[in-house]
Amino acid sequence: MHTTQALAAATRRRQWRGRALAYAALSLGVLVFAFPIWMTLVGSTHDVGSIGRGDVPLWFGPHGVENYATAWTTGGAGTRNTFVVPASSMLLNSALMAALIAVGKIAISLLSAYAVVFFAFPCRMLAFWLIFITLMLPVEVRIIPTFEVMVNMGLTNTMAGLTVPLMASATATLLFRQFFLTIPDEYVEAAKMDGAGPLRFFRDVALPLSVTNIAALFVILFIYGWNQYLWPLLMVNDRALETIVVGLTKMIGTGDSQNEWNTIMATAMMALLPPVLVVVLMQRWFIKGLTETEK
């Protein structure tokens, strides 16, 4: 009895320590993740002189509104900044690009997955493998010749050139295919008995059933599109079409003229806010999307 009590007490103490450790570790983790953002956020509210001199601020300063307004409307004062593009136009480009890529990919993949699952036709497996192979080669590996193809087609510096080539990937198709395979045969039989053709079935049954998957994928793909770097770097040198992730790094320049750090920090905050918001607000779909696509 005595030893059981002692054991129970020891276990409770250990569990309490374990929980304390958990809280401590997790809080530390949260801090480590938040700290860079915090410093950037704080820095974006100060003037460029104090940052440039190295008086690193830990709390907000008075110039927040002014910095964000400058970044939004002009992209910098122009006397120091090497890359004067308004953040408003860059954010719009990024949003458009991300949305187009996400929607385009989902649409195309839905159609392809539907075709591969619900039809039997010659070369079906060939078509499936052709699509599947694209998984093996990320865009970075075929970057130069893809760029040349775009140049030859006159698609550089166009929104089409930015988005269409990125729609040719297989993850979404695989996901939808897997999902369609789980649609019970009875649904299809019932539709056929009702005289519904494949398109009706798609619109009335398959599509509504896929809504959660579509939402999950949309979150993943929107972030994927928003965060593109190498592709826009190559495709775009017309400032009007610049995206915010690439534009941000171009603002830092090579030291030809001193950096307008406060505007750069404000732009960095604006560059990461939309995708972070999407993840946080649609967290459940996001996690579902991640775990589903990797099966």
User: Which 191-230 residues touch another protein, going by CB under 8 A?
Assistant: 192, 197-199, 201, 223, 226-230
Min CB(291)–another protein separation in Å: 6
Distances (CA, A) of 111 to 101, 176, 275: 15, 9, 27
Judge contact between 181 and 204, C-beta under 8 A. Answer: no
Tokens for 55, please give them. 């008086």
Tokens for 59, please give them. 């709390």
Size of the site for another protein (CB under 8 A): 122
Name the residue nearer to another protein (CB basis): 24 or 69: 24
Pick the piece of the chain touching another protein (CB under 8 A) from 60-68, 188-196, 203-211. 188-196
User: Which 100-129 residues touch another protein, going by CB under 8 A?
Assistant: 107-109, 111-112, 114-122, 124, 127
User: Which 61-100 residues touch another protein, going by CB under 8 A?
Assistant: 78-79, 81-84
Name the residue nearer to another protein (CB basis): 213 or 243: 243
Q: Does the footprint of another protein cover residue 138 (CB under 8 A)?
A: yes
Name the residue nearer to another protein (CB basis): 69 or 273: 273
Name the residue nearer to another protein (CB basis): 10 or 69: 10
Q: Does the footprint of another protein cover residue 53 (CB under 8 A)?
A: yes
Q: Does the footprint of another protein cover residue 160 (CB under 8 A)?
A: no
Question: Could you give the CA distance from residue 160 to residue 149 in angstroms, rounded to a whole number?
Answer: 13
Q: Does the footprint of another protein cover residue 258 (CB under 8 A)?
A: yes
Eight-class DSSP state of 222: H
Eight-class DSSP state of 136: G
Q: Does the footprint of another protein cover residue 178 (CB under 8 A)?
A: no
Q: Does the footprint of another protein cover residue 239 (CB under 8 A)?
A: yes
User: Exposed, middle or buried, 59 (CB in 10 Å: 0-12/13-18/19+)?
Assistant: exposed
Out of 60, 129, 160, 189, point to the residue binding another protein (CB under 8 A).
189
Out of 6, 9, 25, 69, point to the residue binding another protein (CB under 8 A).
25
Judge contact between 225 and 100, C-beta under 8 A. Answer: yes
Min CB(208)–another protein separation in Å: 18
Distances (CA, A) of 149 to 41, 98, 142, 239, 242: 40, 22, 11, 22, 20
Min CB(99)–another protein separation in Å: 15
Out of 130, 194, 203, 207, point to the residue binding another protein (CB under 8 A).
130
Name the residue nearer to another protein (CB basis): 130 or 207: 130
Question: Could you give the CA distance from residue 166 to residue 108 in angstroms, rounded to a whole number?
Answer: 12
- How does DSSP assign 24-89, residue by residue? HHHHHHHHHHHHHHHHHHHHTTS-HHHHHHT---SS--TTHHHHHHHHHHTSS-SSS-S----HHH
Out of 164, 205, 209, 215, point to the residue binding another protein (CB under 8 A).
164
